[in-house]
Structure 1
């Protein structure tokens, strides 16, 4: 069996990486830019860091900002209409997962108009053409949307998130500049950082994991465990370490899949608009406990990567407990809630469980699961 790996054509990392945006645009022969962002990033002056560079070189652009924190079908369709009116030939997406995900869907539909309903993009869509070229500028250290072949769009009418997987949507250029992440508030830094840790851990234990992805995920776990606390404190070293760690995690999980932490988090975002990183962070330790019997020695590796000492001398059960405890400790240190009591309504649990079971991430879980199992996991956190 051959293992496929899909990555960006080009990526720039480190302080000042945004300086490469305009040379990439000019060097690739693009004539006009469609800037995707959200209103908050515009208000914070983050988008101006990029548009000022475009202005300095007289690169024409138009800005589209009708994008919610959990982007909807309507956001995407509005973006498609705006792109058609713009006469642009490249998208520069400035933001976290929400903005970049919306940009991917917009870019795919422009070159594959048969999928204009958006819903038909769910799962592994049979698109034929590469999307409009995207230069993705990450402003959060968590989703790694700038390097993945995945995106998530909310179907408001059905109260569900659609996970879309498409090799045609990956940005041609990724810009991972920690300076673009420095204005993130502590809560968002913590949530997106724990989202990145979830990517790395789920990617490491998923059914599709193999040697190359394992290498990436273990390094990502180590970087995140080392740097997330500093990133929340807004240290330069912490920001840079998290920017790299989340990207490496994305390199891995995009190619091998995830598990039921993500499939359970998605309906929380769809139904309650819960921030994706917060949902993942709350669910991760509980799902790790559930999955432990199906993970062999991998939790020992996770514990070691998290900084736990003497893991080699531990029994397999002690090593598994140590990994889970280390995740709980990190989550607590950065201020993540420990349960879903303030989020989930008991009468919604059946809907949530079925939605999670139907989610595209569920089949990658290392342990066979059921709707009843997932229901009990939700209930255990209420």
Structure 2
């Protein structure tokens, strides 16, 4: 991979990838006669110099920018409604999502809501709501600032109910960005914790997608290459970041997001309740749980774990070696090994098990997961 030039590829979204790619944004907007974008980001990104530089660059070219950043780190329906109110009040013509998974999920959900004004969760893909996504949507552009969810190349948004905390999936091919500006320079100043947590999220996407029971050989190949790129780059990107390691992580996170259209699994179902119930960072929740979830999946799928071990360049090509690698990797990037280290208590376990069993991800796990399995996995990780 050449890091000092910008590449273009399509999958199917047009992706402009490379250092400095974000500088092309004003010209792209002008070319498409877009003069009043709503920029959706999170409160942290909104205060960073990199974000202010993007806004200033647009403003200097007579592009009237409106910023919406009033969102939770684990997005809820009310975030989307407030963002749509900002759209209505300020006469916008396009939406630009800038940030990590939370910002891009809210941006994508606002894209849906602009011309689909029934209750947001009517469009929940898990109840067939995608059939109601029939109207046009605004011009949508994504710019990632983390290497985790890969939401920039996705076509779905995960939004939780404000009251029940249950996560819903809003899905439609219409919700894909028209273009992605994937600029690894925007990730260079991420602090080590965010780099590690989002990087482990990307690794979880790739591993779970590869193991998911659905048939999708192309996703399998993409996932294995994503795993290999993360093996080469996450520790460096976390502890001693350079452009090469940041570029590999940004590419690997997009690959994970493309691969997980095949499905996810037990680890995400363990992680989602931690975010909704305890407001745990999603990447951190995946990072702590992934060794335990992978251990659960080994029996009967040894051939798949052998391929993962090869992608990780492990001497022993076994599932147990993969699990040991995951614990060691967490240590190297300063992620704790136990849920108790991130605020989970014994009294949370029953509720977490209920939420995990109700979660949408584990039906695609290679083997069935019962509520009792979830309880025992939480207890093992506690």
Classify 1:113/1:191 alpha carbon distance in 2 versus 1 (closer, same or farther; 3 Å). same
**1:120 maps to what in 2?**
122
**2:47 maps to what in 1?**
43
**2:76 maps to what in 1?**
72
**1:334 maps to what in 2?**
333
- Give the TM-score normalised by structure 2: 0.92
| Alpha-carbon distance between aligned partners in 1 of 2:316 and 2:41, rounded to the nearest angstrom | 46
Gaps of 5+ in 2: 1-9
| Alpha-carbon distance between aligned partners in 2 of 1:87 and 1:204, rounded to the nearest angstrom | 43
Instruction: Report which stretch shifted further, 288-297 or 358-367.
Output: 288-297
- Give the TM-score normalised by structure 1: 0.92
**Aligned positions of 1:100-249 closer than 5 A:** 100-114=104-118, 117-124=119-126, 125-126=129-130, 127-232=133-238, 233-249=240-256
Q: Do the aligned residues in 1 keep the contact of 2:306 with 2:319 (CA within 8 Å)?
A: yes
Q: Do the aligned residues in 1 keep the contact of 2:357 with 2:370 (CA within 8 Å)?
A: yes
The CA deviation string for residues 248-298 of structure 1, in whole angstroms up to 9 with x for no partner, is 111211x21111211111110001110000000111010101011242411
**2:321 maps to what in 1?**
322
How many residues are matched? 367
| Alpha-carbon distance between aligned partners in 2 of 1:322 and 1:99, rounded to the nearest angstrom | 36
| Alpha-carbon distance between aligned partners in 1 of 2:136 and 2:377, rounded to the nearest angstrom | 39
Aligned-residue offset at 1:134: 1.5
| Alpha-carbon distance between aligned partners in 1 of 2:374 and 2:79, rounded to the nearest angstrom | 30
| Alpha-carbon distance between aligned partners in 1 of 2:213 and 2:32, rounded to the nearest angstrom | 38
Aligned-residue offset at 1:160: 2.8
Structure 1 runs (4+) deviating above 4 angstroms are none
Q: Do the aligned residues in 2 keep the contact of 1:206 with 1:258 (CA within 8 Å)?
A: yes
Q: Do the aligned residues in 1 keep the contact of 2:147 with 2:250 (CA within 8 Å)?
A: yes
**2:4 maps to what in 1?**
none
**1:292 maps to what in 2?**
298
| Alpha-carbon distance between aligned partners in 2 of 1:183 and 1:209, rounded to the nearest angstrom | 38
Gaps of 5+ in 1: 1-5, 312-318
2:374 is aligned with 1:368: no
| Alpha-carbon distance between aligned partners in 2 of 1:28 and 1:334, rounded to the nearest angstrom | 42
**2:288 maps to what in 1?**
282
The CA deviation string for residues 67-119 of structure 1, in whole angstroms up to 9 with x for no partner, is 121112111110011111121111111100000000011110112112xx323
SS in 2 for 1:158: coil
Aligned-residue offset at 1:299: 0.7
Q: Do the aligned residues in 2 keep the contact of 1:141 with 1:242 (CA within 8 Å)?
A: yes
Q: Do the aligned residues in 2 keep the contact of 1:143 with 1:196 (CA within 8 Å)?
A: yes
